[in-house]
Structure formats: C-alpha cells, structure tokens
Structure 1
C-alpha cells in the first residue's frame, strides 16, 4: 500500500513535466496536396481608354462591378446585384454587399 501511494504521488508530479514535453513539439507542416485557400479579396483591373478609365472588380474571376470614370463628367458604376451578368447603372455606391460565399461550384 505504501509503495502504491509513493508511485501515485510521483505520478502526480510527473504529469506536468510530460505535458511540457508534448507542448514543445511543433505541429506538422502541411502537405502540398492541400488545396489553396479561396481568396475573398477582389481582383481589380484598370483599363485606360482615350475618353475614360474603366475599373473592373472581380471576385473569384466573376465580374461584379465596373467603375467608369470619363475624362469629362462624373464617374458612374455598373453593378451586377443578382450575379446573373445583368448590370444596372448607378451614380453612387453606398453600401454594396458582394456575396462572398459559395453554395455550389462546378
């Protein structure tokens, strides 16, 4: 009984030391087979024309907004609110909400 009590007390003091050893091991490096993370940052492409500057905004390769800045006049926006490729003209953009989630992808 006495040996069992001594072994139990030694075990209690050894547990924190073992936990420190386990914590010092670095996590494994990711393999190259993992797919790349989906970027949620829009791609911006600026096209300079003779009479205007066109700025295209794309998310995952899909065009969702175009800003047209003519040399003379106020800039305006063409926005695709539904994601179907049908653009609507708007003179100002207040709170544009771009869907950043994907339900299905083919």
Structure 2
C-alpha cells in the first residue's frame, strides 16, 4: 500500500486537473448596449427665490416633486403621490416610511 500511494496520487491529481479543463463553460457573449430612454429621466429646473433654492422635478412635462432648500433649516420635499397635479405630501426625507407604488395604467 505504501508503494502504491506515490504512484496513484500523481495519476489522480492529473486526471482531476484534466477533467476540470474539459468542464469549463464556453465564453459568454457580450451584453448588448442598453439605450436609456430620455423620457424616463427627470427634467430638473433649479430656481433661486431670495436665499432659498427650489428644484422642480418633471417627467414627461408633468411636475411630480419639488425640493425646497431654505437658507435656515433642512431641505424638504413636496410630492405629488397620485399624479393628479396637486403636491399633496410634504416630506423631510425621501427615504422615510413605506411608500406604496402607484402607476398610471390608463389615461384619457
């Protein structure tokens, strides 16, 4: 047994290495270029009113959020949560609380 182990060990290692090369998957094809839809990117308008800064965010020409940065105090957001054109929610942080997603299915 002591004489058989030094002979079989290199054969087993060589066979395992040869089998690993055979199991290699073929190279993957590169992914196609993804074109970003400019209509989905928000259009930001920055206005200065006195010492305050107001940032208006629009998608498809519709105002959906305003960020107000006052000279004193933290910034806050006015958000249109149901896409009716009324800024009905005021938030101090966009990550606060759970927000339910609301999508427009049909419009006429």
Output the TM-score relative to the length of structure 1: 0.54
Gaps of 5+ in 1: 1-36
Corresponding residue of 1:103: 106
Structure 1 residues 98, 67: CA separation in 2 closer, same or farther (over 3 Å shift)? farther
Corresponding residue of 2:68: 68
1:93 aligns with 2:102: no
Q: Could you tell me how far apart the structure 2 residues matched to 1:78 and 1:69 are? A: 11
What is the number of residues matched between the two proteins? 69
RMSD over equivalenced CA pairs, Å = 2.6
Deviations 1:62-92 (A, max 9, x none): 0000000001111000000000122111111
Q: Any runs of at least 4 consecutive aligned residues in structure 1 with deviations exceeding 4 A, and if so which?
A: 95-102
| Aligned partner of residue 72 in structure 1, secondary structure | coil
Structure 1 residues 71, 78: CA separation in 2 closer, same or farther (over 3 Å shift)? same
Output the TM-score relative to the length of structure 2: 0.53
Gaps of 5+ in 2: 1-36
Say whether the 8 Å CA contact 2:44–2:55 is kept in structure 1: yes
Structure 1 residues 52, 85: CA separation in 2 closer, same or farther (over 3 Å shift)? same
Deviations 1:19-73 (A, max 9, x none): xxxxxxxxxxxxxxxxxx7711110000011131000000000000000000111
Structure 1 residues 97, 51: CA separation in 2 closer, same or farther (over 3 Å shift)? farther
